[in-house]
Structure 1
Amino acid sequence: MSRAAVLAGVGAMVPPRAVDNDELSQLMDTNDQWIRSRTGIGRRHWADPGTATGDLAAVAGERALASAGSRSVDMLILATSTPNQLMPATAPEVADRLGLGSVAAFDISVACAGFVYGLATAAGAIASGIADRVLVIGADIWSTRLNPQDRTTAIIFGDGAGAALLRAGQPDEPGALAGFDLGSDGSLKDLAMVPGGGSRERSATEPVPETDQYLYMRGKEIFTHAVNRMGSSSARLLERIAWDADSVDWFAGHQANARILHTVADVLDVPRDKVLIHLDRVGNTSAASIPLALADAASAGRIAPGDRVLMTAFGGGLSWGSAALTWPRIQVPGVLSS
């Protein structure tokens, strides 16, 4: 029987500082009712000055290792769009802080779909025999990239990190990743992007606006594409692995917007009471959102061993991806301050 990637542990964290909607209403033209009605978000957590993405990633990684009861790791994959610095990658620093030695460690940048892409990359490494145990971390600190004058983004994003340890196992055992569906559309890259900071800006012949350092999104168009892409990706995956929608126990979608999550669930005929919602307390944490939602639900006892879990995400690129597994018997620590 071929090797499969099996979930062995999960860990997550958010920074201690909680920023509720009332606090944001003191900074910009908005209010709690307006934010909740459009996003479902009540608060988000922002990192304190001096805290970097790698700091959050290391804590989440440590918790995932504790959840698995093992510190044996052959590879570390960090999904992030907000690395500690442009170069070198943040993953080797996180591996060093975790005491993992000279393991393979690298970043991937797939925006909010990064964790699902990281799972797929890890599963490939395990299936091919390159690694036996892979730590996948999704972490982002977007609060430093938000334009306080842009209500489209400033009310949505929070900071956080989530991690999963995968081990080599058998395809038919609990926790085995059942399959993936991945995709992208670079022709729509300008729907969500940070224009500045890269080689295009450095080689520009004209001065670039200061606002190019901030995240920019075309919200209404993102909503439409997110629903379509996550819905179609999830449907393809369910067909590929022969799961009926009514057999899905939990729908763990990217925590960007409650209306998006419920609409995608409706498209798939998955009851809304099976949709995991964590964004009301942490906002959109980008690559960290799915593992944060999983850790929150599992630590509270909502996800039980044997439950079928469908994950799907959508982000800038445009990029999207879906994954599925049957939940194993693991102990998951709670999410800090959530």
Structure 2
Amino acid sequence: MSTPTSHIRAVGTALPGAPIDNPALARRIGVSAEWIDRFIGTRTRHFAVDLETGEQTSTLADLAERAGEQAMHQAGITASEVDFVVLATATPDELMPATVNQAADRLGIDQVPTYQLQSGCAGAVQALDLGCLLLQRPEHETGLVIGGDVCAKHLRLDREFGSLPSTELVNYVLFGDGAGAVVLTRERPPAGMAIRTVLNQVTGRGQRPGQVIRWFGEADRERGGQAANEDYKAIEERVPTMAKEILWQLLDDAGWQAEDLAYLLPPQLSGRMTERIVSTLGLPGAKEVSCIADTGNTGNALPFLQLERLAGLLSPGERAVAVSVESSKWIKAGFAVEGV
């Protein structure tokens, strides 16, 4: 749980390349566009690889730099004013050096603490939580928190897609690439959001992972095996219930009632899943803030993409809750913000 003295002063985002619609993706992997729409519910997504050649066109550091630069520009701060940098990702560019340090270097940030958290969708919330905790140190007034993923680089485009199991094929239509960043401050900004509470709680004891992504090293590169595995049935079963638990935990921690909410930032696993979750949560008075249909599942970028949309809507005194579920080892995460 964070203190109410942490504020989001500005938000920046970055998406690679032009949007790829369902017909273009369907032609490339040999499925129907109607199936993608019916099963996933995503209209477009952005890939950091060329869809035809498989060549990588953007790195995570590229996207983190763009998002961080935009957030800093909107906040009106320079690199010398940043006291720490936190990056959350499940797909760093390399094992070493840490991508957070590559991004900090490009942004001109030096001689400050940096942290890189490796996690799925919940990592962005973990990064926010860590940023709020770091602001409690007297020497820290301003921090940069980044979340992003480049999932497409883990998906081979030279496959015989017709023979792939559904647990692997779904990854080609579910994910997109992107990054987002926020400038966190201890001081209340002229405009922005106050973070009232943050939830970060692993709940997967004794449970099989709902998602597994394997990183093959040089020694086992040729051994084969499935690089990405999605237990979509388990996700469909567990996520709506977890989302409801997260919502009520956040409301209880913030001391709010459900009717106090002006906006809801629901989990962005897929368009269809988000529709189910919003219906299950039953908050008719809260407007939904989603981006999944346009961006696909961008992992650790998602909460920041939602925050960017919320920033243009939230008025002083209005309240919003963001709910995030990570299915890899079942993490409940989220945060509550109030307009200032």
SS at match of 2:216: coil
* Stretch deviating more after TM superposition (117-126 or 313-322): 313-322
What is the 5 A alignment of 1:42-191?
42-48=43-49, 49-71=56-78, 72-129=81-138, 131-147=140-156, 149=161, 150-169=168-187, 175-184=193-202, 185=204, 187-188=206-207, 190-191=209-210
The 8 Å contact of residues 5 and 123 in structure 1, kept in 2 or not, is answered as yes
| 2:53 matched residue in structure 1 | none
The 8 Å contact of residues 64 and 163 in structure 1, kept in 2 or not, is answered as yes
The 8 Å contact of residues 262 and 275 in structure 1, kept in 2 or not, is answered as no
| 2:304 matched residue in structure 1 | 291
The 8 Å contact of residues 227 and 264 in structure 1, kept in 2 or not, is answered as yes
The 8 Å contact of residues 169 and 176 in structure 1, kept in 2 or not, is answered as no
The 8 Å contact of residues 141 and 160 in structure 1, kept in 2 or not, is answered as yes
Deviation at 1:260, TM superposition (A): 2.7
**Gaps spanning 5+ residues in structure 2: where?**
50-55, 162-167
Deviation at 1:85, TM superposition (A): 0.1
1:314 aligns with 2:333: no
**Coordinate RMSD, CA, aligned:** 2.5
Change (3 A) 1:221 1:88: same
**Partners in 2 of 1:105 and 1:262 — Cα distance?**
37
SS at match of 1:325: strand
Q: Look up the equivalent residue of 2:199 and give its one-letter code.
A: D
The 8 Å contact of residues 262 and 286 in structure 2, kept in 1 or not, is answered as no
Runs of 4+ in 1 over 3 A off after TM superposition: 147-150, 186-190, 301-306
SS at match of 1:119: helix
SS at match of 1:181: strand
- Normalized against structure 1, the TM-score is what? 0.86
Deviation at 1:167, TM superposition (A): 0.4
2:230 to 188, 206, 217: 217
| 2:338 matched residue in structure 1 | 326
Matched residues, number: 318
Deviation at 1:118, TM superposition (A): 0.7
**Partners in 1 of 2:65 and 2:329 — Cα distance?**
26
| 1:256 matched residue in structure 2 | 269
SS at match of 2:140: coil
1:196 to 187, 195, 215: 215
SS at match of 2:325: strand
SS at match of 1:295: helix
The 8 Å contact of residues 259 and 285 in structure 2, kept in 1 or not, is answered as no
SS at match of 1:112: coil
SS at match of 1:155: helix
Deviation at 1:50, TM superposition (A): 4.2
Q: Look up the equivalent residue of 2:335 and give its one-letter code.
A: A
**How high is the sequence identity, in percent, across the aligned residues?**
27
The 8 Å contact of residues 243 and 267 in structure 2, kept in 1 or not, is answered as no
| 1:228 matched residue in structure 2 | 241
SS at match of 1:216: strand
The 8 Å contact of residues 22 and 31 in structure 1, kept in 2 or not, is answered as yes
**Partners in 2 of 1:167 and 1:297 — Cα distance?**
18
Deviation at 1:266, TM superposition (A): 3.2
Change (3 A) 1:272 1:264: farther
SS at match of 2:301: helix
| 1:247 matched residue in structure 2 | 260
SS at match of 1:127: coil
Deviation at 1:228, TM superposition (A): 2.0
| 1:32 matched residue in structure 2 | 33
Deviation at 1:324, TM superposition (A): 0.7
The 8 Å contact of residues 91 and 151 in structure 2, kept in 1 or not, is answered as yes
**Partners in 2 of 1:189 and 1:140 — Cα distance?**
23
1:14 aligns with 2:33: no
**Partners in 2 of 1:281 and 1:231 — Cα distance?**
24
Deviation at 1:152, TM superposition (A): 1.2
**Gaps spanning 5+ residues in structure 1: where?**
329-338
